[in-house]
Amino acid sequence: MSSSFSLAFWLASQPLAQSAVALIGAGFLISLLGHYIVSQYFTVAELQPNNLVGGFKYSFIAEVYAVTVALCLVGSWEIYQSARDTVQREAATMYFLLQAAPVYSEPGQEGPRQAMELGVRNYAKAVVEKDWDNMRRGRTVGGSDPEFNLLVRAYLDVEPRTAAQQALQQNTSQWLMQVSELRINRLSSVSRTLTGLLWLLVITSTGIVFVFPWFFGSPNQITQSIMGALASVTMTSVILVAVKLAYPFAGEALVTPGTFLTLMN
C-alpha cells in the first residue's frame, strides 16, 4: 500500500506534461506491446472462442472498474474542494483582521494598528514562502509558526480604549480562532488524501482491464490493438486527473496562494 501511495504522490508532484507522458504514454505502449506479445503465442483462431464467454466477463469487470474509478474521482474531488475552500476561508478571515486594524488608530495609539497590519502581512508572506513549500513536498509541518504567534499577540495584547475597540475585540478573538483552526486544517489536508488501499485497488483493477482484451480474437489485429490503446489512454487520463486532485498542493499546485499574495501586497 505504501508503494502505491508513493507512486501516486510522485505522479502528482511532477509537472502535468511529464506526469501525462509517464502515465498515459506508458499505458499506451503497454497496451500495444501486450497485444503484440499475445499475438505471437496465440493465433486468431485460438483466441476467437474466448470472445463469447470473455465478453460477458469483461462487461462485468468493466462495470466494477467504473465504480472503482468513480469512487476514486469523487474522493479526489472532495479533497481538492475542501483544500481550496479552507485556503479561501483562511485568507478571508485574515482580511477581516486587516480591516479591523484602522479602529486602533486613535491619537497616541498608532502602534497597535501598525503591529496588526504588519502581523497580517508577515503571516501571509510566511504562508506563501514557507508553508506552501512544505505542503508541495507533502510535509504537514508549517514554517509560519513564529509569524502566526506574532499575529495573535498583535491583536490580543492590545488594551481597548474606545467603545468601538471594545465591541470589536470579541470579533477579533473569534477571527483569530478561526484562522488557527483553518491553518491546522490547511496543513493537515496534505496528509488527508486517498488511502493507499484505494490506490492499490485502482492500480490492480486497471491492470486487469488492460490485460483482459489481449485474449480476445479479431481478424484485424491492428484495429483491435488501436482500440485497446485508445481505451488505455482514457483509463490512464482519468487516473491522472484523480491523482492531481488528490494532491492539490503537490507539484504544479491546483490550489495556489493567490489570496495570500494579495494580503502580502
CA dihedral 13, 256, 144, 251 (to 10 degrees): 10
- CA neighbours closer than 13 Å in the CB half-sphere of residue 211: 6
Q: Report H helices in the chain.
A: 2-13, 16-20, 26-41, 44-47, 50-100, 110-126, 132-136, 145-156, 163-188, 196-211, 221-246, 258-264
Best-predicted range by mean pLDDT among 4-13, 38-47, 66-75, 221-230?
A: 66-75
Residue 93, pLDDT > 90, answer yes
User: Which set of grid coordinates corresponds to residue 233?
Assistant: 489512454
- Domain range list for the chain: 2-79+193-246, 86-191
Q: With the C-alpha atoms ordered 163, 164, 167, 173, is the resulting torsion angle positive or negative?
A: negative
Q: With the C-alpha atoms ordered 256, 133, 87, 191, is the resulting torsion angle positive or negative?
A: positive
pLDDT in tens, 205-217: 888 888 888 888 8
pTM more than 0.85: no
Residues 120/263, Cβ–Cβ less than 8 Å:
yes
CA distance linking residue 2 with residue 199, whole number of Å: 10
Coil, strand or helix at 48: coil
Residue 177, pLDDT > 90, answer yes
pLDDT in tens, 192-206: 777 778 888 888 888
46 to each of 69, 91, 248, how far by Cα in Å?
A: 32, 64, 48
pLDDT of residue 5: 57
Instruction: Kindly state the DSSP code that residue 107 receives in the 8-state scheme.
Output: T
Window from 49-53, 81-85, 126-130, 176-180 with minimum mean pLDDT = 49-53
CA distance linking residue 190 with residue 197, whole number of Å: 17
pLDDT of residue 180: 92
Nearest residue to 9 via CA among 251, 233, 253: 251
Confidence of residue 143 (pLDDT cuts 50, 70, 90): confident
Q: What is the mean pLDDT of residues 76-91?
A: 92
In this structure, the number of other CB atoms found within 10 A of the CB of residue 106 comes to 13
Residues 112/104, Cβ–Cβ less than 8 Å:
yes
